[in-house]
Structure formats: structure tokens, C-alpha cells
Chain A
Amino acid sequence: MNIIRGFMTTFKHLSEEPVTLQYPEQVRPFQVRFKGRHHLRRYENGLEKCIGCALCAAACPADAIWVEAAENTDEARYSPGERYAKTYEINMLRCIFCGYCEDACPTQAIELGHEHQLSFTDRRDAIYTKDMLIDPVPEGGQDTPQQVEPGVFTRSIPVMPDAK
């Protein structure tokens, strides 16, 4: 009797679709909240959202983020407001993909995406620089640094609606 039950289980599973995927040819769809490697976002006009505030670096429990800021001018503008990230690096060997940086960011500039295939042959390659992290310029936008009209982008953080 027991043996029949055992075989039934086996046969049942034989007819089921297998759960194993032929990675890397096949990739399992991600949960939307999956935290992969970071992206630095841009506004529609191409300006960088990151304002170089280093709050992400402060929030990072693994000390993986390195930010150096510099000053924007209207002749060479990278981001709205006065400050932008001149250097932005994340050491992917250190990062534990907790997403605290995303939470800390006041401009939603840094977001953890879905890329998870990170492999390196050299420790130095694990340091992702700003060029590697930043999104491509959206259509209709301009690459940074931009030359802009004076007095338009005076604020680093977009004016918020009333917090009630």
C-alpha cells in the first residue's frame, strides 16, 4: 500500500513542470522589490537627480559608497541646485544590497535595480563609478554638464507639496 502511495507521488511530479531553470539562458522574473545593483537616476531633461549629499554613504552599513561633491554653475550644470556628485562610487564587494541608501536619498536619485550578475576578476573592478551607475540620458534630454539659463535650477530638492 505504502509503496503505491510513494509511486503516486513520484508520478504526480513527473507530470509537473520542472522548477529548475536553465540559468543563464533562462532568467526567473524578479519581484518588483528585488534589490540588485544600483542605478543613479536622471530627470527628464537629463539633469542628474543626485545632489552629492552623501546621505546614502552615511546610511550605508557596509561603508560601500564614496561620494565627493562639487559646485554646479549655470555654465556647467549636472544637477539642480548648487551641489552635485563629482565622484560617486559603490564598492559592490562591500554592498550588502540592503537598500538603505535608497531610503536615505532625499531626491530618489539612487535606486537598486534588478541586475544581480556581478562578477569581477579584479577587486578594483568591483568599484562601480558614476559613469557605470548613471542611467542613459532620456530621450529629449541633454547629457550633463548642461549649459542652462541662469536662475532656473536654484533648488536641489524639488519643492515638496505641503506635508500635512
Chain B
Amino acid sequence: MSDKVKIIIDDIEYEVPAGSNLVDMAKWYADNDIPVFCYHPKMEPVGMCRMCLVEQGSIVKDRETGEVVLDENGNPQVRWFPKLQTACTQIVHDGMVIRTNTEAVKAARENVVEFLLTSHPLDCPICDKGGECPLQNLTMAHGPGTSRMNYDDKMHLDKHVPLGDLIFLDEERCIQCARCIRFQDEIVGDDVLAFHERGRKLQIITNSDPGFDTYFSGNTTDICPVGALTTADFRFGARPWELTEVPSICPHDAAGSNISLSVRLDRDFGGRAMIKRVMPRQNEYVNEIWISDKTRFGHHFTRSEDRLKKPMIKKGGVLTEATWDEAIRFVVDALKAADGSVAAIAGSSTPNEDLWTLRKLVEGLGGGLLGAWTPTHAGADLVAQVGVGKGTNLGDLGQGDAVLIIATDLEEEVPIWRLRLKQAADRGAYLVVANARKTRMDDFASDTVRYDYGQAAHAMQNLDAAIAKKLKEANNLIIVAGAEGLTLDGSRALMQAAANFLIESGHIGKPNNGLLSPFPGANGMGLHYMGFSPEATLQIMQNPPKLLIVNQAELLADDPFAAEWLNKVETIISLNLFPDAVSNMAAAALPIQSFAERDGTFTNGERRVQRFYMAQGPMGEALPAWQVFSQLSEALGQGHAKLSAAAVMKEITENVEAFAGMRYKELARVERQFPDVGGEDLYYGGTAYQNKGGLGVQIETSADKGEAVSVGEVKLPDSPKPKKGQVLVVPVAQLFNRQSTFKPSVLVHPRVPQPYVEINSKDAARMNIKTGDLVEVMMADQIRVTVQAHVNGGAPEGAAVLPRYLTDEATPMVLTVGEIKKV
């Protein structure tokens, strides 16, 4: 900790770090909840609401001697400010004295509450915030019992203003604290909210089109100290006290955001426990108290009626419903018949327990290839060696540190990293963004680098000397290397080049230094630790086995070229949440449980192993995949089936070195986190919940352990070359898309873009294409998709940027060439 100073709060002396905020310190050290409305521990104070008034003074020191001046009783003399001060705008200093329990302070608090309520509606019974409302709570704690005001004189404003498709504003309830505006501006950098009008008429407006255009809008409803902002998802869904909070992990991306699933029984779901909303759960290492809108609004797939609910096996050429016993017997026979020619492909959101049991099953059959899906991002092994050091916290990066983001559009791929790295840049970190096109991150970058698509590794090796120097000389350096515009080989070369850069400059093996990659899905790193690799997937593609087990990987929806090799597989055993094209051609399609229906763990991109807990009952007869694999193993005589996810994890800890010591109990450990949000006092940090489910444990890298690292020789791959009349087709990520796990979230549909391809203006002019024209993108002579053309300067010349998962047909996963024709 930095220097300490001594302050006195209500006659008790505390030693607190210099330079910190008085409200934070009073709460952390003195357990003194100074009431606040506008102050938020994650944002700059503005001193707007006056709720935090305290008496403040300082101990008088003799100017000449520096001695403390004593009064006649021998106590230090205090020079008090003539008026009350706002605690939230005070930085602690030595000799600071404050009083929070005097009559003057009490009167000030009463008056502020009374004043706020002069224009606040009597809405608590129908207000979504009621029950966890800072205004309610502080009124109860500090408000006057009665009001001298005339209730007829209340301000009446619009109560139902959609700020966007996801957030509603009740203008009457707003107490004008500007937390929402400041969050969007300071923390996110999407300055889309503003105040309009003045005085009692003042309202929040959005100045973006579409309204409230940001990927983080839901967080404003958490930090709004009243029920002025509510989400379209939860609106009137339940009263907060009726909800049970179940700790969980976001299943969508590599950040592994800690969330809390608020569940309650619901008639609409057959009277069963249903997820009513997703709330952030504090983990200062991972997502602090923020979550993206995809995390918050992307939970509906867990109870989608389209889920696969019964085991299906092929009888006489048709998939027919079967019991689990029949299905297990059927699959066991198939496994035996395959004669050891067995391989497995697992999707990137498959929990660790499922991966491990699947691996054991395949190994027990003589060992086959274990493929990771999608085979787009290589280098997980490098992250295991020189990834960000154990103890890394992106929130610590600032002045003197550096971050290089290359070949990824972080806003679309891992929004929470984008949010936290943007803040790192605000704190003074040197942020370099390298990509073939402009991405959102460019707006926050200190320097940007452009290269040609396919040349990311080359660009990494040949960084501009001045930029490279600054990166190398930084105190801490993190490189975030993605796979946009690369083939799998290209992705490996980039990861190697990035690893080499870090090794050369010595930025490995310590916290806040090392490599990160936005692997797709929630468990990209888990795939690596459990022995699944994208390289193995390519081998499976080249040499299809007799029997292929496909777990939570929608091969045909993801890859337009998959049908070619998948047809050569004799028997497919498919396990998935939804029936998909793979399960349709499978010999057996088995329903498995989603993250919400079971216990398990994900390993996030920073290699933090985190637990999620069961929140809702199973859909139909779905089982957790680990249970299916475990039962198959038992039926094949490979030993007893495991009875719980915890038992599987125990076995992992005994067999996978990286997971040693990661029993469920360890993963569930929590500690007090600064700032102290959640808990009873929701007015301080908002409705982000306290972490009661565990902070998880981060796996050490080889470099952390001081082991030798080997990156391997960088082979710059040949990237696909467009012939005359062709363009490079570059698949990119789109956060709001039509993937099977996001499509059931109907309320986000208006925000999912219509399928489009971004074309460079020169190419467009040559082909006579304008924005809005329908064009056909044709690849490898056979794959065609019809999409809208966008000519908005988002694509470099010769490249067509084609977002994935927007069309019904599969679009390429990796860089390829194609032709574009107007239709």
C-alpha cells in the first residue's frame, strides 16, 4: 500500500491510504456508511446530490514548529469548516477530522431526502427497484418522518420512455444524480446519455440512433439509485425479495464474467424455477461490477422450448425418441463397433467437467483425437506458458503500463476486456490497437497500426520501432492477440510472434504481464488444459474417424465446409442443447443441460477457473454431459461412473497438473473486495451483488513457475490470395448475433443487425455497389450467402468483412477468398 495518513471519524482515529476518497475510507475502515446518491466508488465524484454532507475540520498545527496545537484540556485543537462539506468530494489528508453523527449532519440528511421526495412519485409498490432501492433505504434510515411539502405539487413527467430497446426510463423517478450519464461517458466511453431541460423538468435523454446504443446499457440500471432505469427483460418480473440469487458465470465469452442468476418460480414456466434476470456479481479481478448486455440479456436459451429434450437414436434410418437406458446401450454398441477409430470434438463453451469425462471416455477406447471447436484460434498452449501472470488485474493497469491489442475487435468479442482496457488507457496506459480495419478500440488507442489482412504475425514482428520501444519499455505489458482475418496457421504464427515479443522484453511470469487471447466461448482455455486442440480438429477433418462424438459444437452451423468431411464419418454421436444440423445426421442425439441447469466450472481467458451453480431444473430429460460420458465409461467397463460434478473435479485435480488443488471448495473461496459493493447498502455501489459463490482460482503459467518456455519457430503462413475479380472474405465477430444460444433472447432481436457485408468504397465503386444493395458473396464455388452491402469505410481495399452468425447459412470461420456479385 501507498503512504498512510491518519484521519479521525467520529472521534476514532484510523490509518488509511493517502489519496483515497473519504466516503470509501469511512466505509472500508470505519464501517461508517456515509449516505450517497450521486457518488459511486467506480466513478469520479461530482458532488451533485448533497446527501453526503458531514462536519469536517482538521487538526491545527503550529506553522513554525509543525507541532499539534493543544486546547486547554490537552486535546488537539480542531479547526472546523464553517459549513458542512460533501464527503464524496474529499480526499483524505493527515489530520482530517470528520463527524457524521451530529445534529447538523442529521438535519442536513433529512432535508436532502425531504427535498428529493418533493418530486418523487409514490411508486414503490410497482417499482422494480422497490426493495433494493437506495432512495427507499436512505429515506428509511435518514429521512424525516413527515414532509412539509404539498403533495399536489409533485412534478408529473412521462413514466414510460424507452431509451432504447432494452432500457426504459421513468422520468418522474429520476433524482438527477447523473450516475448513468457518467457511467456511459467515463467508464464505457459511449457517451450516449445526457441531461435535457433544467430544474424539476430535467430528464435523461439518449442522443444516439438507435437509442442507448452501447453494449453496456444494463449496468446503468444497477447503479441508478432509484427505479428510473429498468430493463425490458425484468420489467415487473418479480419483487427483489422474492428472488433467489444463484452464483454463475457468463457462458458467452472468454471474460468469464461473474453473474448472479435471480430465480423464482413462475407459472409461465410450468411453476418451475425460472431465471428472471441476470445481475453482475462482484469479482474485481474479472468483471469488477459490470457485465455486458449480452451477458445480461442472453439467458433465455436455457429455457427455450426449442431445446432438445429427449434422447434420440436412429432406428431404421430415422431418429426416434428413446429412454436414456436405450440410448446409452445404443451408444455403447456404436462405440464398441467403431473399433477404436473414435474421435471427439467439443465446443468452446463446454465446461471442464464434461471435457475431462469425454477425454477419459475416448482414452479408454484406445485414444483418439480430441478436437477443439471452432478451430479458429490457436495458441492456447502459448497462453498456458506465457499468459498473463497469476494475480493479473486489468484494473491495475495505468500510467507506465502498455497494452497491445492485435487482430481482434474486442468490443464485439470480449466486451468486458474492452471496457477495462479502455479504462486502463484513461488511467494513462499506453494502448496500441493493431488491425487491418478500424475497430471500436481505435477510439481509445494511443497509437494504431494497420496491416493487410492475413499479415498480423508479420505486423507483430515488424512493429514500428517507436511503438515497439514504448511497449518494450513499459513497466507492464499485456498483448491481446486474436484471430481476426487469419487462418489457424496465421493465428498460431501471430500468437508465437506475440509470445516472442513478450519473452524478449521480459514481460512474462508476473502479474499484469503476458499474453491474452479472446478465445470464442466461455471455456477456450479449458479446452486446452483438458487436451483438446484446434490442430486436432483439423486432423479430424482431414482424416475423419469411424465414430465422432460432437459435444456442444454446431459444426454445420459454424462452418460451411463441414458437410464435406462430416459425411465421411460413419457414426456421429451428438450431444447438444438444441437440435441442429449435426444432431439431425447423427446416429444418436442426446440432450444435455446448459450452464444454468447444473454445477460446473469454466476456465476464462485469463485462466481463472470459476464455478457456476445450478439455478434452474433440467429441460426435459437433459443430463449434464459429464454424466452421460461417465455412464458410457461405466457401461464400457472403464470404472464406476461419477456421481457429482464435484467428484469429477476432484479427479481432474488429481490428474491435470494445472488444476492441482482446485477442488470445488477452493474455487468457492471469497474475500472482502474493495470497493465494498453489494450487501445491504445498495446505495453505495448499486445492485451488483456481493460475491458469495467464489472468486475462482487462476492457473499459474509456466513462466510464473519459472519453467522454461518454448514458443517454437514462427512460420509465417501463406495467406489466401484473391485472384482477379475476387476479394478476401474476412469473418468477424458480432456480439449480438443469431447463434443458437443467443437467438432465443427475443428482446435483443431489434439490436441484431440484418446480415451484411462491409465492402471498401473502391471495390464497391468498381462493382457498382452501394450501401443497402443486396449482394451475393460466393466462396469456393459452392457456398453463397445473400447479404446487404455496407460501404461505410469499415473494410480495407480488397477485403469483404463478413460478420459471422448473422445469416441462416453458415459463413466462413476463417480467412478465405470469394467473389461478390450484386443481385
Contact = CB atoms under 8 A, between A and B. Distances in A.
Name, among A68, A71, A107, the residue most crowded by chain B CB atoms within 10 Å (CB to CB): A68
B151 A82 contact: no
Nearest to B147: A163
Nearest to A104: B125
Contact of B236 (A58, A83, A106, A162): A83
Interface in B529-563: none
29 contacts: A51-B126, A52-B236, A53-B125, A53-B130, A54-B238, A54-B239, A55-B125, A58-B239, A58-B242, A68-B268, A69-B126, A69-B236, A69-B237, A69-B238, A71-B235, A71-B236, A82-B126, A82-B159, A82-B160, A82-B236, A83-B236, A86-B267, A157-B125, A159-B152, A160-B122, A160-B151, A161-B151, A162-B150, A163-B151
Interface residues of A, number: 27
Given A54-B239, A54-B242, A83 B146 contact: no
A70 B125 contact: no
A91 interface: no
B236 A70 contact: yes
Contact of A53 (B159, B160, B239): B239
Nearest to A157: B122
Name, among A51, A71, A86, the residue most crowded by chain B CB atoms within 10 Å (CB to CB): A71
A87 interface: yes
A154 interface: yes
Nearest to A162: B151
A163 B146 contact: yes
A55 B241 CA distance: 10
A87 B125 contact: no
A162 B266 contact: no
A156 interface: yes
Contact of B241 (A58, A106, A154, A160): A58
- Majority SS at the chain B contact face: loop
A84 B237 CA distance: 11
Nearest to A84: B236
Interface string B142-174: 000011001110000001100000000000000
A156 B123 contact: yes
Nearest to A158: B122
Given A54-B242, A69-B238, 19 more contacts: A51-B125, A53-B125, A53-B130, A57-B242, A68-B238, A70-B236, A71-B236, A82-B126, A82-B159, A83-B126, A86-B267, A87-B267, A154-B159, A157-B122, A157-B123, A160-B122, A160-B151, A162-B151, A163-B146
Contacts of A53: 125-126, 130, 239
Interface in A115-164: 154-157, 159-163
Contacts of B152: 159, 162
Nearest to B160: A82
Interface of A: 51-55, 57-58, 68-71, 81-83, 86-87, 106-107, 154-157, 159-163
A107 B235 CA distance: 20
B527 to A, nearest CB: 41
Contacts of B235: 71
A103 B238 CA distance: 21
Interface in B439-454: none
A102 to B, nearest CB: 15
A52 B236 CA distance: 9
Contacts of A70: 236
B126 A81 contact: yes
A126 to B, nearest CB: 16
Contacts of B146: 163
Contacts of A160: 122, 151
Given A71-B235, A154-B159, A163-B146, A52 B126 contact: yes
Contacts of B236: 52, 69-71, 82-83
B267 A156 contact: no
Interface string B243-266: 000000000000000000000001
Nearest to B239: A54
Nearest to A87: B267
Contacts of B238: 54, 68-69
Interface string B110-133: 000000000001110110001000
B267 A68 contact: yes
B271 to A, nearest CB: 9
Contacts of A57: 242
Contacts of A82: 126, 159-160, 236
A29 B640 CA distance: 71
Contacts of B150: 162
A68 B267 CA distance: 8
Contacts of B268: 68
Contacts of B267: 68, 86-87
List the 6 closest A-B pairs by CB distance, nearest first. Answer: A53-B125, A83-B126, A69-B236, A156-B126, A106-B125, A54-B239
A61 to B, nearest CB: 15
Nearest to A163: B151
A74 to B, nearest CB: 10
Contacts of A106: 125
Contacts of A71: 235-236
A119 B168 CA distance: 45
Contacts of A54: 238-239, 242
B782 to A, nearest CB: 48
A53 B239 CA distance: 8
A86 B268 CA distance: 10
Contacts of B159: 82, 154
Contacts of B242: 54, 57-58
Nearest to A105: B125
Contacts of B130: 53
A96 B738 CA distance: 50
A58 B126 CA distance: 13
Nearest to A81: B126
Interface string B473-517: 000000000000000000000000000000000000000000000
Contacts of A58: 239, 241-242
Contacts of B126: 51-53, 69, 81-83, 156-157
Contacts of B266: 68
